[in-house]
Amino acid sequence: SYTIEMGHLGPVWQASPKPFSCSVEDPTKQTKFKGIKTYISYSVTPSHIGRAVYRRYKHFDWLYNRLLHKFTVISVPHLPEKQATGRFEEDFIEKRKRRLILWMNHMTSHPVLSQYEGLEHFLMCADDKQWKLGKRREEKDEMVGAHFMLTLQIPNEHQDLQDVEERIDTFKAFAKKMDDSVMQLTHVASELVRKHLGGFRKEFQRL
C-alpha cells in the first residue's frame, strides 16, 4: 500500500521509509547466440544493496512500461529514445548512459515509484530464471490503473468539499497555463532553429 498524508500545503505522498540511490555505470558491448546478437549492458548498483546487476536497454524499457501501466496517476518521465543506427557509437552510448542515470535518479527519489516491487525486482534480481518469474508476476499484477486507488491509505482528517474543489480548479488553471507556456516555448525554439538553419546561417557564412 501507499500512504497519502496531509502536508502544510495539502495532501502529499508519504516519504519512502528507506530512501536509496542507484548508479548506472560501465556500459559494455556484449554478444549472444555466438555473436549474432550484439547489445550494450549497464552495471546498475542500488546503494542499499551494494551489489550490481547488469541490465540492457530492453530491461529499462520493460520497467518503464510497467510503471506506466500501474501508476496512471503519476507522471513517469520518458526513457531516452531508441535508436536504430549508431547504437554502438561511443558518443551515443555515453549520452544514453547519462540520460539513464537521470531517469533512475527520478525513480529512486520518488516516494511512490521507489517502493514499487517491479523496481525492486529490476534492481536486485541477478538470476535469469528468477528474472523471468518475477517479470511474469509483475505483468499479472491486478492493482493497476484505477485499481491502484484501492492500495492507497488516505488521511483521516475531514476535508472541506468547497476547499478541495477550489484547489482542483486552481491546479487545472495552472496546468492549462503551463501547457500553453510550453507550447509557446516550443514554437519559439522551432523558429530559432529555422532561422539559424536558414537566413542566419547564410549571414554567418558571408562574415
Q: What digits encode the pLDDT tens for the residues 132-162?
A: 999 999 999 999 988 999 999 998 888 788 9
pLDDT band at 20 (very low <50, low <70, confident <90, very high): very high
Q: Which CATH class is domain 2-152?
A: alpha beta
Q: Residues 25-64: pLDDT tens digits?
A: 999 999 888 778 899 999 999 999 999 999 999 999 999 9
Alpha helices (H) in 35-146, listed in sequence order = 57-70, 90-109, 117-124, 128-139
Q: Which amino acid would we find at residue 81?
A: E
Percent of the chain with pLDDT over 70: 95
Percent of the chain with pLDDT over 90: 71
Does the global pTM surpass 0.95? Answer: no
**Domain ranges (residues) in the chain:** 2-152, 161-206
Q: Which three cell numbers stand for residue 131?
A: 528474472
Query: Crossing angle of helices 90-109/57-70, nearest 10°?
Result: 30
| Integer-rounded Cα radius of gyration of the chain | 22
